[in-house]
Structure 1
């Protein structure tokens, strides 16, 4: 009888623990960098409200980060207890390291990373690469140890500008950027050289082509994880303002959500804005048949 009572007490304690533990501990946790505006903010809201994630909204500006969380909660109160701001500047190794340590101490593990932070067409080659390519690598370097080793996912926000760049790149450079066996040494050496002498290259397209190559490399090195790149499409954001884009940020999340939640068949792939696999050496329009090459 005493043993039965003890077991019942343990069961009640376990049930009580499950009832009061925070949603942050019960839900799958995902980090979205650059989550304070545009597609990043829309993605944070959708993941928390519609897909049952606990979202860490990364932002380099604390004021904008806190305001983004407040704005999301005002419009979608169901996100309460599913969303919080995380200070994180992808351009700073110290900032990324501190953010990863905060997450490790508070949660221990994570489900996914969405490398969304980026800059557009008005920056120098060096600055563009520092944010758009080296930035995601910094985040991966520090947050990879926190990802679930069996279910973890990484989603890198690239752009159709990447495949478009590859289509017209010098032959040797195109071969390197589209090689599934590309190494970080090859990639970083090319970026360092191009940073010093862009040679007429368009920084945004080059940086996104490099990000796709890095995605392939990382997926090859970490086959136990799901690591892919995607484009949100031609969406009206600060990057595309004044360039004819009209679709709201809420329409630029389909591919990212698929890469986070879908039954993915491959790894190290690049997905179009319609969440279908696309080639990395040429443009594939949304609605066209998916790419089925190697």
Structure 2
């Protein structure tokens, strides 16, 4: 399925409420701006872990004339924080129409001294470099793998996102057209797994359960905790420094499909925004935040009755494998 370039394709409604996690910068902030500028969205709730930064981001959007943006603090790894957001939405709106799960981390340690010395603002140095070359630079200058960073990645990208979805699910089901959009990555495609058995199991959405998916993630964390990169690779997990990030996004993709099967009235989809120039990529990405966000917003605003349990890349439906 190919999507239109516009992000204003959603069905009209009297009130339409959207929540964006990790909304204070980068892709998340741009998604908030684009959704708030859409005539069919009544209120956009911009959430962020840091209260001061989140409030400032919401004020920045309101200064642009987007008076329908409100801020609410949210740390997706903190159960009380998630519960407070759910209570706020239930009390104020009674439902939720769109949930964009954008908050996430790369699962590597940032080397601040190297970041400061990386000439990322001089774009001429990187003209002609593809994504792989730029990732090599990131790993050389700015990022370092560690088991602790990998475990935090799974706790955030997979378990944290699941926590938010679970808490807000009753409000999404109260909507006449509830949507969940999980910001994923091509790194979450199952081709990165060395084990055919793992690829097969994670792709078999008809038999895969949330409980089994949790067990798979737990097994990866155990192998990661062993500290032996070779052992991780030998068991069929994705190889390389981005292993934890790949597993977190593959698990999120699989969970999205499980959720879509369980709740057919919802639209639950994943989208790869591209290799975007953000803090996460130390501005070495190839895609502008505006374009990355446009791809996410387009999935959030697909026409009613559109696909569910799908993965989108380059504005088209693509395989999870």
Band of TM-score, shorter chain: 0.7 to 0.9
For residues 139 and 27 of structure 1, the distance between their equivalents in structure 2, rounded to whole angstroms, comes to: 22
For residues 173 and 166 of structure 1, the distance between their equivalents in structure 2, rounded to whole angstroms, comes to: 10
Please report how far the alpha carbon of residue 52 of structure 1 lies from its aligned counterpart in structure 2 after TM superposition.
3.6
User: Which runs of 5 or more residues in structure 2 are unaligned?
Assistant: 1-12, 110-148, 225-231
* Equivalent residue, structure 1, for 2:168: 143
Q: Is the 8 A contact 1:149 1:224 kept in 2?
A: no
Please report how far the alpha carbon of residue 51 of structure 1 lies from its aligned counterpart in structure 2 after TM superposition.
4.2
Q: Which residue, out of 55, 68, 78, partners 2:44?
A: 55
* Equivalent residue, structure 1, for 2:100: 114
Q: Which residue, out of 152, 174, 180, partners 2:205?
A: 180
Please report how far the alpha carbon of residue 217 of structure 1 lies from its aligned counterpart in structure 2 after TM superposition.
0.3
User: SS where residue 104 of structure 1 aligns?
Assistant: helix
Please report how far the alpha carbon of residue 149 of structure 1 lies from its aligned counterpart in structure 2 after TM superposition.
4.3
Q: Is the 8 A contact 2:260 2:266 kept in 1?
A: yes
Q: Which residue, out of 309, 316, 321, partners 1:268?
A: 309
* Equivalent residue, structure 1, for 2:187: 161
Give the ranges of 4+ consecutive aligned residues of structure 1 lying more than 2 Å apart after TM superposition.
165-169, 263-266
Moved more, 49-58 or 89-98: 49-58
Larger RCO (alpha carbons 8 Å, 6+ apart): 2
User: SS where residue 167 of structure 2 aligns?
Assistant: helix
For residues 254 and 36 of structure 1, the distance between their equivalents in structure 2, rounded to whole angstroms, comes to: 16
**Equivalent runs, 1:14-25 vs 2, <5 Å:** none
Please report how far the alpha carbon of residue 27 of structure 1 lies from its aligned counterpart in structure 2 after TM superposition.
3.1
Q: Is the 8 A contact 1:118 1:132 kept in 2?
A: yes
CA RMSD across the alignment? 1.7
Q: How many residues were matched structurally?
A: 251
* Equivalent residue, structure 2, for 1:128: 153
For residues 253 and 306 of structure 2, the distance between their equivalents in structure 1, rounded to whole angstroms, comes to: 18
* Equivalent residue, structure 2, for 1:28: 16
TM superposition score normalised by structure 2: 0.74
**Equivalent runs, 1:80-99 vs 2, <5 Å:** 80=67, 82-99=68-85
TM superposition score normalised by structure 1: 0.81
* Equivalent residue, structure 2, for 1:190: 216
Please report how far the alpha carbon of residue 169 of structure 1 lies from its aligned counterpart in structure 2 after TM superposition.
2.9
User: Which runs of 5 or more residues in structure 1 are unaligned?
Assistant: 1-24, 282-294
